[in-house]
Amino acid sequence: YQARALDNDLSVDSVDEAHVVPTDPGVHWLNLVLTVNDYAGAVAFMRDGLGLKTEEEWNEVGHGMLLDVGRATIEILDIAHAANVDAIEAGKVKGDRIRLALGVGDLATAAQRAQSAGAAIENVPVDTPWNHRNQRLAMPPNLPIQALTLFQVMTEPEAVTP
């Protein structure tokens, strides 16, 4: 990946460590790129509603924004496993081919913020067998991905000594 700047005065000293070109040939970065008709609405939901931090912004031709989501992974599920996850998280099989899942520190607060920004609650929070508390929502219709899971990793219960 190349270093990108908000202006044309990018010096080597100002390049963020994460933007340094790697020497290892493996994958080093995941960008999920959403092309939207309603840029302001998408920013209002993703940045303001979900609380994602702006890393970079471009306004030279049209608009673009890079939001920091922390650690990123790609999860691959077959149809049977996806149906099982749907049944646990959503209470029914949804069949969404793409779903955005965001780990949060406080599920109730994150779900309220998302709902206030236009997400629709699809199910109550559920405790999963994989030690997460998850809540399914539908993102606003102006976004190309509709399925959203917010999850909070639960701490292990402390051992009780007799």
pLDDT band at 161 (very low <50, low <70, confident <90, very high): low
Indicate whether 94 and 144 sit together in one domain. yes
Q: How far apart, in Å, are the Cα atoms of 88 and each of 56, 85, 137, 138, 155? A: 36, 5, 14, 16, 19
Indicate whether 61 and 86 sit together in one domain. no
Assigned domain for 4 exists: no
Assigned domain for 158 exists: no
Query: How far is Cα 90 from Cα 32, in angstroms, rounded to an integer?
Result: 24
pLDDT tens per residue across span 31-42: 899 999 999 999
pLDDT tens per residue across span 97-114: 999 999 999 999 999 999
Assigned domain for 159 exists: no
pLDDT tens per residue across span 19-78: 566 677 788 788 899 999 999 999 999 999 999 999 999 999 999 999 999 989 999 999
Domain range for 28 is: 12-68
Assigned domain for 26 exists: yes
